[in-house]
Amino acid sequence: MRYLSTMLTKSKRFAEAEIWLRKILHTQELTKASDLLSLNFETLGKFKESEELMERSLAAKTKILHEDHFMIAFTLVQLARLALHKFLSDMKNANSEVATYYLARAQELSNDSIRIAEGILNSSSKDQNKLNSTFAMDRDKIAAITILVCLYSH
């Protein structure tokens, strides 16, 4: 969506670009609210509701961002943390099959997040042209380091 809006703007098709930019803005506002509500649910121990919101947020983000964007990785970290909460809950309830599923899911989500973060950190200077600025590349690398710290501190 972002790429399309950029191309439309460069083509001086501003009215069409505006439509796409409004969709992006709406989606971003929804994902921010969804992320905050999900964290609130997690704090309250409502892991199912939290996971549902975070999954919806991930789906929305993948529509407007590329799959290796740091915001996707952050959302994967949140989902991995929720899976670990569910793992611990099911272990306490002696439900080892379900607990094993959630542990495997947490590992998969963590690995995906690590892959994205490493990709950002290992990006070459020619990739900098895609990002349009050194600032954007630095911001993404800082975000990637933050993602890795979040994963390894839990």
Q: What is the pLDDT of residue 80?
A: 94
Q: How many domains are there within the chain?
A: 2
Query: Domain limits at 86?
Result: 67-154
Segment 28-56, tens digit of pLDDT: 888 899 999 999 999 999 999 999 999 99
Range with top average pLDDT, 22-31, 33-42, 82-91: 33-42
pLDDT at 23 over 80: yes
Determine the length of the chain: 154
Residue 81's nearest CA partner among 113, 116, 121, 34 is 113
Q: What is the pLDDT of residue 131?
A: 47
**Domain termination residue (choose one: 65, 85, 115):** 65
Dist. CA 69–CA 57, nearest whole Å: 14
Segment 100-137, tens digit of pLDDT: 899 999 999 999 999 999 998 888 655 555 545 666 77
Phi-psi region for residue 94, left (φ > 0), alpha (ψ -120 to 50) or beta? left
Residues 46 and 22 both lie in one domain: yes
Residues 13 and 76 both lie in one domain: no
**Domain termination residue (choose one: 65, 93, 117):** 65
Residues 120 and 77 both lie in one domain: yes
Mean pLDDT of 66-77: 92
Cα separation values, 35 from 5, 11, 129, 130, 137, Å: 25, 34, 31, 28, 24
